[in-house]
Amino acid sequence: MFQVRIHGRGGQGVVTAAELLSIAAFLEGKHAQAFPSFGSERMGAPVVSFCRLDDKEIRLREPVTAPNAVIIQDPTLLQSVDVFQGLNCDGFILINSTRTFEELGIADFVAEFPAHHVCDVGASELAMKHVGRPVPNAALLAGFAAISGQLHMASVEDAIRQKFPGAVGEANVAAARAAYEIAAAA
């Protein structure tokens, strides 16, 4: 089973990101489970969402405490939340940022991971360029597909189009393709 934890803030599409991830997995014939963990948070409050992917039925229902991958939609959470809790040194880290790991203050930590398992993508900037809103979720899912190999980009695109039909979906697909290229080259 491959487990993903997504950290962000209310309004960034953290819950939608997990849902899109699970849809992409279903499209590939996998079993998937996506669910959020939040209470009465308001816009801007920290939010965590989880997704599990497997080739067989998933019976677990508890939060992901030992993720194989962590997706961080808001890098300001690095100073306030232990986003890396439970992640072992062969896991994957994807951060929505155009800043270097040194600038983010995590260079020593990420140096413990295989280089191709750690990536930063300016997903909010890509979303602004293509979608007109700084919602990084679709772009980050493509980045996740590129670094983890857990999903094919075509499945990510189809999941985005299912969730957001029409022009909004195509704009998110464009942002996702740009993020995929960046992450694949990292």
pLDDT by residue for the chain (186 residues), tens only, comes to 999 999 999 888 899 999 999 999 999 999 999 998 765 556 788 899 999 999 999 999 899 999 999 999 999 999 999 999 999 999 999 999 999 999 999 999 999 999 899 999 999 999 999 999 999 999 999 999 999 999 999 999 999 999 999 999 999 999 999 999 999 998
Residue 161 is part of a domain; what is its CATH number? 3.40.920.10
Retrieve residue 167's tokens: 């022009």
Which residues lie across from 36 on neighbouring strands? 49
| Full domain range(s) for residue 127 | 2-185
Number of domains composing the chain: 1
Which residues lie across from 51 on neighbouring strands? 4, 34
Of 69, 75, 58, give the one whose Cα is nearest residue 146.
Answer: 69
**Crossing angle (nearest 10°) for helices 153-163 and 14-27:** 120
Retrieve residue 117's tokens: 């398992």
Question: What is the number of residues in the chain?
Answer: 186
pTM of the full structure? 0.94
Question: Which strand ranges, in their side-by-side order, compose the sheet holding 69-72?
Answer: 31-37, 46-54, 2-9, 69-72, 92-96, 118-121
Return d(Cα 83, Cα 92) in angstroms, integer.
12
What pLDDT, on the 0 to 100 scale, is given for residue 37? 77
